Amino acid sequence: MKNAIKTIASSVLCIYTAFAFSAESMCTQQSGKNKLPVVELYTSEGCSSCPPADQWLSHLKGQSAVVEAFHVGYWDQLGWVDRFATPAHTVRQRQVSAWNQLSSIYTPQAVLNGKDWARWGGNVADTAAEPGLATISLHQLGPDQFEAMVTPVAGAPGHWSAYWTVTENGYSSKVQAGENAGEFLKHDFVVRQYVSAGVYTSDASAAQKLAFRSIARSPDHPRQVNLVVFDPQTGKTLQAITAPC
């Protein structure tokens, strides 16, 4: 009898696992004709001028865009360590600064399609639509496993690069020190994983396959899996895609 119960339980588990995998593998996304806007916000929990920018970013929920909050750690020296910050985020911000010929980095800094956006605000949908210079097809292959096919189109630069991010919503922090001491901060679109995907030669006759293994999904924080394709010489976005996988 015990063996029979174990057999039934095992069968149910297999069926459930197969169903879950099937549901995840159905998560696919295809880029459109126009470029999907990419908004990057460089922010820190230790920066007193950052909360208004964080709040604005949260208002971008539901808009057709890749939205990313890159937390940086160079404010940590004031006494509060931002748990979302990584050195890789600061490295990317320095690269963005170089592309834009800025003399320094700062927070909050908003970037739209690779360009410094000093007068950030409002809706991303208000920006002028531009044709995409690449097509992207994204598929989820299994739990936290993804694959994308990227194909440059006419007008694309000779080389292109890409990066993956996983962004998550619904975080909050009670800050105990630094410029925001005593503040209760809320965060959405927090970059929890950032992975460079290399540099490739443009070839409109062949698609490039990009594989990605993401961090595990958090049941408490809805996530987006994003792929951004850009010009490695200028940082300009060529095309992007986001999926709530």
More confident residue, 2 or 59: 59
pLDDT at 129: 85
pLDDT at 21: 44
Paired with 42 in beta bridges are 70, 109
Three-state DSSP class for residue 200 = strand
pLDDT at 185: 98
Q: Is the pLDDT of residue 11 over 50?
A: no
Calculate mean pLDDT across residues 34-41: 97
pLDDT at 125: 74
Q: How many CA atoms lie within 13 A of 207 on its CB side?
A: 12
Q: List pLDDT tens digits, range 99-149.
A: 999 999 999 999 999 999 999 998 887 677 899 999 999 999 999 999 999
Q: List pLDDT tens digits, range 44-83.
A: 999 999 999 999 999 999 999 999 999 999 999 999 999 9
Q: List pLDDT tens digits, range 16-28.
A: 333 344 444 579 9
Across 46-153, where does the E strand assignment appear? 66-71, 109-112, 115-116, 134-142, 145-152
- Whole-number Å distance between alpha carbons of 228 and 136: 9
pLDDT at 203: 83
Mean pLDDT lowest among 84-98, 120-134, 145-159, 169-183: 120-134
> What's the pLDDT band for 228 if we cut at 50, 70, 90?
very high
The sheet that has 134-142: what strands, in order across it? Answer: 28-30, 134-142, 145-152, 208-213
Q: Are strands 171-174 and 134-142 parallel, antiparallel or unpaired?
A: unpaired
Every domain of the chain and the residues it spans? 27-243
Three-state DSSP class for residue 236 = coil
Q: Which residues have a Cβ under 8 Å from the Cβ of 101 and sit 6 or more positions away?
A: none
pLDDT at 242: 98
Q: Is the pLDDT of residue 2 over 50?
A: no
pLDDT at 94: 98
pLDDT at 69: 99
- Whole-number Å distance between alpha carbons of 15 and 237: 42
pLDDT at 126: 67
pLDDT at 83: 98
pLDDT at 229: 98
pTM score, whole prediction: 0.89
DSSP class of 25: H
Q: Is the pLDDT of residue 86 over 90?
A: yes
Mean pLDDT over the full length of the chain: 90
